[in-house]
Amino acid sequence: MESTTRKLHNLKTVSALLDMSAPTIYRRIKNDPNFPKPHLVGGNNFWTDAQINDYIERIESGCYSS
């Protein structure tokens, strides 16, 4: 049986990766349907590596503005 490991990013890391403040990220979660929704784990928000990479790729390709 093969298991896959997913890297999870917390708010601080996502903030650095996207160059956005925490309040901006929370506004995006609430108001931007294209922004990746976090996974709640132990009362904390986490995003997968794939979610963040996909979001960055869509912004860079011009699919929508950041």
Q: Does residue 48 sit within a domain?
A: yes
What is the total count of domains within the chain?
1
Q: Does residue 1 sit within a domain?
A: no
Q: Does residue 3 sit within a domain?
A: no
CA distance 58 to 27: 19
Q: Does residue 12 sit within a domain?
A: yes
Domain that holds residue 47: 8-61
Percentage of the chain with pLDDT > 90? 82
CA distance 13 to 30: 19
Write down the pTM of the prediction: 0.82
* DSSP helix/strand/coil, 25: helix
Tokens representing 43? Answer: 């009362």
Ramachandran area for residue 9 (φ above 0: left; ψ -120 to 50: alpha; else beta)? beta
Q: Does residue 66 sit within a domain?
A: no
| 26-53 pLDDT, tens digit each | 999 999 999 999 999 999 999 999 999 9
Check: CB of residue 46 under 8 Å from CB of residue 8. Answer: yes
Q: Does residue 14 sit within a domain?
A: yes
**Is residue 5 pLDDT above 80, yes or no?**
no
Q: Does residue 55 sit within a domain?
A: yes
Which of the four pLDDT bands, split at 50, 70 and 90, describes residue 1?
low
